[in-house]
Chain A
Amino acid sequence: MKNKLSRFAVPYEIWMAIFVVAPIVIMVVYAFTSQNGGFTLENFIKMGGYTEVFLRSFKMALVATAVCLLIGYPVSYYMSREGKGFQRIAMVLIMLPMWMNFLLRTYSWITILDNNGLLNQLFQRIGLITLYNNITGRELTFFPMLNTQGAVVLGMVYNYLPFMILPIYSVIIKLDHSLLEAARDLGANSATVFRKVILPLSLPGVLSGITMVFVPSVSTFAISQMLGGGTELLLGDLIERQFLGGAYNPQLGAAISLVMMVIVVVCMLVMNRFGEGEEQAVML
């Protein structure tokens, strides 16, 4: 029985060999190939010039992840303490935006943040801009918000916040309540219960949330192009540009992707070491 069933996996093993392993092998080969087809390390040497892009991408993704965690954890925690009906509705409300394409949602922020956008119109109307000008002695007609790093981080937080809330929530909700009661019976106040019991037990959810926010943030290109105005490249922009954009060089693109992949995987491994023994929280 057992052996027969294990044959079920054979087609998928072949599939993985072709569509998971082979593409990465090809990517590695590309990364070490020059544009004329020979072996080269030039693509990696060139990357030194992009250190700043790497740093900027990781910095912005870290900020976005931290903000998501700071907002997401309390929300998940509070949500888990509400009634069943509330929780159900809240979950639907958090999932719902994900069914609308993220580009649409991001696009909406352009109209909000633009120099003549809704927020600036609002500020104008309530006299905030005049007030600011009076205080600082400057002559702004609007607050520049779009095309800044802040706007990009905002876009990341906006799009990936549900990815932080869902895994944390799904871990907290499954916590064994008898454990909490036991802690209370043993004299812990609510702060101690939270610190000593809930927080450590919800760590797998936090780790999985961090992964799910950080990885797409560090590699995005649509968000940075839409909200960042293309003035400050992120890794995703740089890669996209080498393949389908304005600076055709797939070898260099493959090399950048490879380095980014390695850094991300190493980060993840280190982080998961942290929460070793804990089972990965399953999303959704």
Chain B
Amino acid sequence: MRAKVENRLGDRILMGLVFLFLYAPIFILIIFSFNAGASSSVWKGFSLHWYEELIHNRLILSSVYTTLLVSLLATVIATVAGTFAAIGFYSMRRQRRDALMAVNNIPMMNADIVTGVSLCLLFVVFFNCWGAFAGWINSIQSAVTLPTKLSLGFGTMLIAHVCFNIPYVILAVGPKLRQMDRNLIDAAQDLGCTWMQAFWKVVIPEIKPGIISGALTAFTMSVDDFIISYFTAGSSTSTLAMTIYGMTKKRVSPQINAVSTVLFTTVLILLVIINVREANMQKRVDRSTKQAVVRQPSRGMRILGRVAAGVLALALLATLIVTGRAANARPVVNVCSWGEYIDEDLITEFEETTGIAVNYQTVESNEALYSLIEMGGADFDVIVPSDYMIARLIEEGMLAELDYGNIPNYELIGEQFKGLSYDPENKYTVPYTWGTLGIIYNTAMVDEEITSWDAMFDPKYAGQVLMINNSRDALAAALLDLGYDLNTTDPEELRAAFQRLKEAKDAGVYQAFVMDQVFQKMEGGNAAIAMYYAGDYLTMLDNNEDLAFVIPDEGSNWFVDAMCVLKSGQHKREAEEWINFIASTEANLANMDYIWYGSPNVEALEQYPAYYEELYEEELDPELFEIMAPPAETLDRCIMYTDLPQNVLALYNDLWNQLGV
């Protein structure tokens, strides 16, 4: 007996450890949601201000709303459809049922990513067919105009959620059907029920527990899903999971901790309520079985339940209609840019002055932007790609020619930013910013002065280096280090550059491949060396004075990011208005001050030092201004990327995949 007790103690310790393992990260999230500082690992005192900010964060709130809406809708649809399907399956001959069940199990057996990818491909194929069909319809008649361009969005995501939810419902309802006494239905019919009545009065009540547990599972799956949504929602719709994923690729705000805390507490309270109720009910059942009384909800309760369900359904419908209206009523412009690349007050200002709603999204890199557009995942109007990507998009006929009559501020753009190789005739673009690529390092962690790209490959710094996570920039560093042209098309040179990267990676030089995560890592001293863009260095410098920036001796890349309008965009007029607004001197000054990238607007560039002085009441360090807007002699050492031929791009992709291996 005593051994048993000790044994129990051991068991409980194990369970305690497992629960600690499961909950420690969650409690840490919760604790740091009350942190006064922005760090997620250094405690600076108690504060509620992340919660205050959360209330004003449209992005997070709308993604919570999207998550709930898609989960609820998908659950309702999947529960109804799944229940009917299960009943149908149950009434079938065995052979046919087994075959159908096998198909039904596919989405559950498959990895989420396979389901997501295959559905994404289905939608893409459908959109292409639809485009051709709608184009044909529009050309033969003029009574109705069908939209020719469809893109991934809420609808496709909902379909995907329904798709993976139905099997869970069937799996939950099926066993209940099998347990049901088949004679019940016959008995009901013998007693004069039509088969419809038999269905509603006998079958449904019998399988109700299965339906409820199926619905719960479906809802849980929907709320927790990320991967399938990610592949089917496109860029304009974002569930909470997608928003968080996007954020982990940038600077993570403790607002995320605040959201988690709110969610966690809500679920906790809900579960406690449900469990207490269930426990009470259990007790009541135990008592009532003694008295052999069958528990039956009273008539009043049942009516109440139905009314509640009806109200819920109506409310859902109403929110849908209202949000749909709201989306249609206001003119919109969909803008896609990079992370930390705009003074967000400008968005509000634009919305207030023009009444046009801005749907502002970000992607990680030029290459990711291209993938997103190609996969039909984007309904962007304005994008801000870099030079070489613009050239590629123009060549592939994806950009619309701008009507510069609508963009008078284009006149303010400096001559040196016009007629560049990517858009020689100035037909498609209005420059947004320009800058250089260089090495950022922490002088407290690196003893010597870095002057060469060698630092990015030196085993001396093993585990301390952050490599940039896009193929063009990463290979450029290696090409420059080897003394090659960064626009080379020679496969041998590219392979040599790849080898340089690969060797460094195998030697453990790279702590991680990052894009905008670089901010947090460098500011927090988690890495010593990184290659990134000059403007972003200045942002980091604000938070960590030890950081230094260098354009290596071998030279570097200088780039122009320019605003363009996609041909497939639906809001060209609004898009041009946005571009004009952003090209103004005031907007450029605000942006320069916020993102620290050089402005192509001549007036803004000239006025910035004075603007800075007025704003901060101190002189702008000329050295910093030189990093922001490098003088001609620095730019002479830098080369702009050009668009590469198809086969070289394919080689880039292959090498980039290989590097991961």
Contacts and interface: CB of A to CB of B under 8 A. Distances in A.
Interface string B78-118: 00011011011111100000001001101101111111011
Interface of B: 11-12, 14-15, 18-19, 21-26, 28-29, 32, 40-41, 81-82, 84-85, 87-92, 100, 103-104, 106-107, 109-115, 117-122, 124-125, 159, 163, 166, 171-172, 175, 185-186, 189, 195, 198-199, 213, 216-217, 220, 223-224, 226-227, 230-231, 240-241, 244-245, 248, 252, 256, 259-260, 263-264, 267-268, 271, 275, 279, 364-365, 367-368, 370-372, 374-375, 377, 463, 469-471, 505, 510-514, 524-527, 650, 652-654, 656-658, 660-661
Contact of B511 (A4, A147, A245, A254): A147
B22 A104 contact: no
Interface stretch (A89-97, A127-135, A179-187, A193-201): A89-97
Determine the main DSSP class of B at the interface with A: helix
Contacts of B231: 243-244
Interface of A: 1-13, 15-16, 18-24, 26-27, 30, 35, 46, 49-50, 52-53, 71, 74-75, 78-79, 81, 88-90, 92-105, 107-112, 114-118, 121, 144, 147, 158, 161-162, 211, 215-216, 218-219, 221-222, 225-226, 229-233, 236-241, 243-250, 253-254, 257, 260-261, 264-265, 268, 282-284
A235 to B, nearest CB: 8
Given A117-B41, A248-B653, A9 B92 contact: yes
A257 B117 contact: yes
A10 B486 CA distance: 59
B432 to A, nearest CB: 21
B389 to A, nearest CB: 12
Contact of A230 (B29, B245, B463, B514): B514
Given A96-B267, A250-B121, A101 B28 contact: no
Contacts of B244: 101, 103-104, 107
30 contacts: A1-B185, A1-B198, A2-B91, A12-B85, A20-B103, A23-B118, A23-B121, A23-B122, A46-B654, A75-B18, A94-B22, A100-B260, A101-B223, A102-B224, A103-B248, A107-B29, A108-B26, A112-B24, A114-B526, A115-B525, A211-B109, A216-B111, A219-B114, A219-B227, A236-B111, A246-B656, A247-B367, A261-B111, A264-B109, A283-B217
B26 A105 contact: yes
B41 A116 contact: yes
B25 A112 contact: yes
A16 B224 contact: no
Given A245-B371, A260-B111, 10 more contacts: A6-B89, A8-B91, A13-B100, A30-B121, A50-B661, A71-B18, A94-B22, A116-B41, A215-B109, A248-B370
A23 B195 CA distance: 36
A230 B469 contact: yes
A248 B650 CA distance: 9
Contacts of B199: 5
A2 to B, nearest CB: 5
Contacts of A21: 103
A107 B513 contact: no
A216 B526 contact: no
Contacts, number: 315
A231 B505 contact: yes
A45 B653 CA distance: 16
Contact of B25 (A49, A109, A283): A109
B32 A229 contact: no
A46 B85 CA distance: 42
B118 A257 contact: yes
B263 A19 contact: no
Contacts of B111: 215-216, 218-219, 236, 260-261, 264
A236 B226 contact: no
Nearest to A35: B650
A7 B109 contact: no
A93 B660 contact: no
A238 B114 CA distance: 12
A275 B248 CA distance: 41
A121 B526 CA distance: 12
Nearest to B185: A1
A117 B14 CA distance: 26
Contacts of B114: 27, 219, 257, 260-261
A108 B28 contact: yes
